[in-house]
């Protein structure tokens, strides 16, 4: 969405108060946009005449997309697609139509205003190791940030805890519309956040937590070893129980091991059933963290690698996908000025599957974080060498594949969920306005707290 359409400066509320504008008016316009119930029948819609960015099978200059029952029922050149009788016709001539964007790391629903501690539920800092924490328990569906991000074309996102802990909890995958939190959370515990950087070190007086990276690494190893031992004790108990049930053992039934929530939470990850999102920034941090991951045969999605340019070939050799973000970062003292911007292109050249994230940054001054800038991160990467088509894939089909939802999301293909964006230009261009989005075939109101305030006070 163009800057002028959505942006309300962080100090806007304070300025209005200073001008004597009634607080009650701000409250009224600060209320959340009414939710859309995706459980109601979606209409049949034909979006005609637009430029279709299908992602999976090229660009169709004059195309038609038919939405029916919340799915894509037809897509192709306008001359080849039959429009069902009674369909709502949406004239998209001169517009660009593309699948909803996917943000691979956000704090949506966990943080409202970064500077207001009471509105944050980002991380539990009483311990470093909390794999049994579930983001689904904290997700606040009514956040004002979701409508802000949604009207810039973002329809789905990973919600992750903040990175203060080494193992802060398990992520969720959401849709940015729905009647309530249950309808918006598409999958719980889709990945385990694992962080290894200087940010996780605690240097308080009590020295209760690791204050060095050596300590972090040792603590992580011990945690996974404990979980392996817990898994072995469960297997041993199950074997004894089966023998007892068959009458092979005549003594008392075996006693099950005591439930350990932390170890229990780690079992699917030790079995490689779900990915660990491993966040590290510097080259040596990436190497140590990946060594730990390989020791325990973890399925890894690398995250950030912002200053990993020294070991790009090694990163490629890991054969794991990489989430890039934030792209708006300063280079290290020993790096080129454009090292962060060129990182996606360099990874792509080495055959690495990449996805972009807004990295969960919140805009401390007002509701609405930097998640809305997700397409512009991809645009920056194009300016610094990433092929345009690959940049689009990195915010659509690539993340859909990484999170196991490519059969439903990420491209304009028949049978996929009808998460569609209609915009008046290139999705990676900051000057482009998103005119309408559809989620599961439902037209979503193009309003947010910011647009309401803009419309009211620009008079």
Strand-pair partners of 89: 46
Distances (CA, A) of 252 to 234, 236, 237, 255, 400: 17, 15, 13, 9, 50
pLDDT given for residue 459 in this prediction: 81
CB distance 89 to 100 below 8 Å:
no
pLDDT in tens, 97-141: 999 999 999 999 998 877 777 778 898 989 999 999 999 999 999
CB distance 55 to 61 below 8 Å:
no
| Mean pLDDT value of segment 226-252 | 88
Would you place residue 230 in the very low, low, confident or very high pLDDT band (cuts 50, 70, 90)? Answer: very high
pLDDT given for residue 243 in this prediction: 86
Q: What percent of the chain clears pLDDT 90, i.e. is strictly above it?
A: 74
Would you place residue 160 in the very low, low, confident or very high pLDDT band (cuts 50, 70, 90)? Answer: very high
The yes-or-no verdict on residue 364 having pLDDT over 60 is: no
pLDDT given for residue 254 in this prediction: 85
Would you place residue 23 in the very low, low, confident or very high pLDDT band (cuts 50, 70, 90)? Answer: very low
pLDDT in tens, 270-295: 999 999 999 999 999 999 999 999 99
CB distance 72 to 51 below 8 Å:
no
pLDDT in tens, 395-435: 999 999 999 999 999 999 999 999 999 999 999 999 999 99
CB distance 374 to 428 below 8 Å:
no
pLDDT given for residue 421 in this prediction: 98
Would you place residue 204 in the very low, low, confident or very high pLDDT band (cuts 50, 70, 90)? Answer: low
The yes-or-no verdict on residue 14 having pLDDT over 70 is: no
Among 86-90, 207-211, 213-217, 453-457, the minimum mean pLDDT is found in 207-211
Q: How many CA atoms lie within 13 A of 445 on its CB side?
A: 14
Distances (CA, A) of 141 to 108, 127, 137: 8, 26, 11
The yes-or-no verdict on residue 368 having pLDDT over 50 is: no
Q: What is the CATH architecture of 33-100+410-458?
A: Roll (2.30)
How many CB atoms are closer than 10 A to CB 306?
23
Kindly report the average pLDDT of the chain as a whole number.
Answer: 89
CB distance 321 to 250 below 8 Å:
no
Q: How far apart are CA 49 and CA 123, in angstroms?
A: 47
Q: Which CATH superfamily is domain 101-223+258-407 in?
A: Metal-dependent hydrolases (3.20.20.140)
Nearest residue to 148 (alpha-carbon basis) of 106, 98, 99: 106
Among 14-23, 194-203, 262-271, 377-386, the minimum mean pLDDT is found in 14-23
| Mean pLDDT value of segment 240-256 | 82
Q: Which two tokens stand for residue 213?
A: 């990276």
Vertex 375: Cα angle to 387 and 348 (nearest 5): 30
Start-to-end Cα distance in the chain: 21
pLDDT in tens, 24-74: 333 444 455 678 999 999 999 999 999 999 999 999 999 999 999 999 999
SS (HEC) of the chain: CCHHHHCCCCCHHHHHHHCCCCHHHHHHHHCCCCCCCCCCCCCCEEEEEEEEECCCCCEEEEEEEEEECCEEEEEEEHHHCCCCCCCEEEECCCCEEEECEEEEEECCCCECCCCCHHHECCCCCCCCECCCCEHHHCCCCCCCHHHHHHCCCEEEEEECCCCCCCECEECEEEECCCCCHHHHEEECCCCEEEECCHHHCCCCCCCCCCCCHHHHHHHHHHHHHHHHHHHHHHHHHHHHHHHHHCCCCCCCCCCCCCCCHHHHHHHHHHCCCCCEEEEEEEHHHHHHHHHHHHHCCCCEEEEEEEECHHHHHHHHHCCCCEEECCCCCCCCCCCCCCHHHHHHHHHHHCCCCEEECCCCCCCCCCCCCHHHHHHHHHHHHHHCCCCHHHHHHCCCHHHHHHCCCCCCCCCCCCCCECCEEEECCCCCCCCCCEEEEEECCEEECCCCHHHHHHHHHCC
pLDDT given for residue 206 in this prediction: 65
Instruction: Provide the residue ranges of all domains of the chain, joining segments of one domain with +.
Output: 33-100+410-458, 101-223+258-407
pLDDT given for residue 245 in this prediction: 84
Q: How far apart are CA 266 and CA 272, in angstroms?
A: 10
Would you place residue 78 in the very low, low, confident or very high pLDDT band (cuts 50, 70, 90)? Answer: very high
What pTM did the predictor assign?
Answer: 0.90
pLDDT given for residue 366 in this prediction: 38
Backbone angles phi, psi at 362, to 5 degrees: -105, 150
pLDDT in tens, 303-338: 999 999 999 999 999 999 999 987 888 888 889 999
The yes-or-no verdict on residue 18 having pLDDT over 50 is: no
């Amino acid at each position: 969405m163009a800057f002028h359409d959505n942006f309300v400066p962080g100090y806007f509320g304070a300025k209005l108060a200073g001008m004597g504008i009634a607080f009650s008016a701000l409250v009224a316009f600060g209320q959340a946009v009414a939710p859309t119930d995706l459980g109601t029948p979606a209409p049949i819609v034909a979006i005609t005449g637009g430029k279709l960015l299908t992602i999976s099978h090229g660009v169709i200059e004059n195309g038609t997309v038919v939405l029916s029952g919340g799915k894509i029922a037809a897509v192709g050149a306008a001359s080849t697609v039959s429009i069902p009788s009674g369909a709502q016709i949406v004239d998209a001539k001169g517009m660009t139509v593309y699948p909803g964007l996917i943000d691979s790391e956000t704090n949506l629903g966990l943080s409202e205003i970064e500077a207001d501690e009471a509105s944050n539920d980002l991380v539990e800092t009483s311990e470093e190791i909390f794999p049994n924490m579930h983001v689904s328990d904290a997700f606040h569906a009514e956040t004002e940030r979701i409508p802000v991000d949604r009207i810039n074309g973002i329809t789905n996102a990973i919600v992750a805890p903040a990175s203060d802990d080494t193992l802060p909890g398990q992520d969720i995958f959401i849709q940015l519309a729905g009647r309530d939190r249950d309808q918006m959370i598409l999958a719980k515990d889709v990945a385990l956040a694992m962080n290894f950087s200087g940010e996780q070190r605690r240097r308080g007086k009590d020295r209760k937590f690791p204050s060095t990276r050596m300590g972090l690494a040792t603590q992580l190893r011990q945690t996974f070893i404990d979980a392996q031992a817990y898994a072995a004790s469960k297997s041993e108990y199950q074997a004894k129980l089966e023998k007892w049930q068959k009458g092979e053992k005549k003594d008392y039934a075996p006693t099950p091991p005591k439930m350990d929530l932390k170890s229990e939470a780690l079992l699917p990850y030790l079995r490689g059933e779900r990915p660990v999102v491993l966040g590290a920034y510097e080259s040596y941090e990436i190497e140590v963290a990946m060594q730990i991951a390989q020791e325990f045969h973890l399925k890894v999605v690398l995250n950030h690698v912002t200053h990993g340019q020294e070991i790009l070939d090694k990163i490629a050799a890991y054969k794991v996908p990489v989430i890039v973000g934030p792209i708006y970062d300063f280079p290290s003292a020993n790096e080129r000025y454009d090292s962060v911007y060129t990182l996606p292109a360099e990874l792509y050249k080495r055959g690495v599957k990449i996805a972009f994230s807004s990295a969960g940054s919140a805009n401390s001054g007002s509701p609405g974080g930097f998640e809305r800038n997700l397409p512009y991160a991809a645009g920056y990467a194009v300016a610094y060498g990433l092929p345009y088509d690959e940049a689009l894939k990195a915010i659509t089909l690539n993340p859909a594949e990484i999170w196991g939802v490519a059969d439903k999301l990420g491209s304009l293909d028949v049978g996929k969920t009808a998460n569609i964006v209609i915009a008046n230009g290139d999705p990676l261009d900051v000057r482009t306005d998103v005119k309408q989005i559809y989620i599961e075939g439902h037209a979503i109101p193009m309003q947010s707290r910011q647009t309401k305030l803009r419309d009211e006070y620009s008079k």
